[in-house]
């Protein structure tokens, strides 16, 4: 996994260049947001169980058919798998938040996830909705300032966009 700084340094190293103003500004931007990123992650870490429970409760209140016979969360095993997956999305989002990079999401979570879910018959719509709910809950807990929302939106929007892509 590469964080924002490593990505910048590698790019310039591969080109055999010294850091220019653009690179220095990018690094400066990352460091200016670090305290906000750490605060958001502290909130997520301290309240992760509540966040996951709240996201699941909201998802199932909106899409009750998931819990009915034939629904994808019907049976304890499937329900537990859904909660496990919600926890995965939240955990990997925190990794991307601190790194200021969505690369880890692609490498460790998203590559092949859509194909796996499709092959298992797991509906993508509720998965995407659970990510949106997680995003909303964290924004509510961390604060609605634009810089906070932007930091939180980055990993969740990336996951949502990748899973929501449709072939035309």
Cα dihedral angle (35, 36, 40, 41), rounded to 10 degrees? -30
CA-based radius of gyration for the chain: 18
Q: Where in the chain are the domains?
A: 34-164
**pTM for this entry:** 0.90
Contacts with 62 (C-beta within 8 Å, 6 or more apart), sequence order: 129
Q: Is the pLDDT of residue 168 over 50?
A: no
Is 145 within 8 Å of 136 (Cβ atoms)?
Answer: no
Give per-residue pLDDT as tens, 107-140.
889 988 888 998 988 899 999 999 999 999 999 9
91 is in an annotated binding site: no
Angle, CA 19 vertex, CA 17 and CA 25 arms, to 5°: 150
The CATH superfamily label for domain 34-164 reads: Phycocyanins (1.10.490.20)
9-17 mean pLDDT: 96
72 is in an annotated binding site: yes
39 is in an annotated binding site: no
Q: Is the pLDDT of residue 166 over 60?
A: no
């Amino acid at each position: 996994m590469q964080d924002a700084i490593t990505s910048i340094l590698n790019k310039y190293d591969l080109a055999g260049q010294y850091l220019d103003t653009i690179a220095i500004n990018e690094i400066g931007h990352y460091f200016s947001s670090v305290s906000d990123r750490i605060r958001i992650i502290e909130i997520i870490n301290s309240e992760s169980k509540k966040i996951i429970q709240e996201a699941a409760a909201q998802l199932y209140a909106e899409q009750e058919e998931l819990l009915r016979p034939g629904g994808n969360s019907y049976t304890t095993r499937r329900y537990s798998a859904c909660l496990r997956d919600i926890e995965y999305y939240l955990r990997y989002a925190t990794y991307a938040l601190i790194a200021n990079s969505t690369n880890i999401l692609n490498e460790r979570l998203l590559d092949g996830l859509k194909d796996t879910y499709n092959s298992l018959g797991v509906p993508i719509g509720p998965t995407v909705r659970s990510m949106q709910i997680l995003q909303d809950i964290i924004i509510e807990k961390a604060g609605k300032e634009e810089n906070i929302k932007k930091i939180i939106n980055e990993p969740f929007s990336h996951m949502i966009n990748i899973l929501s892509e449709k072939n035309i």
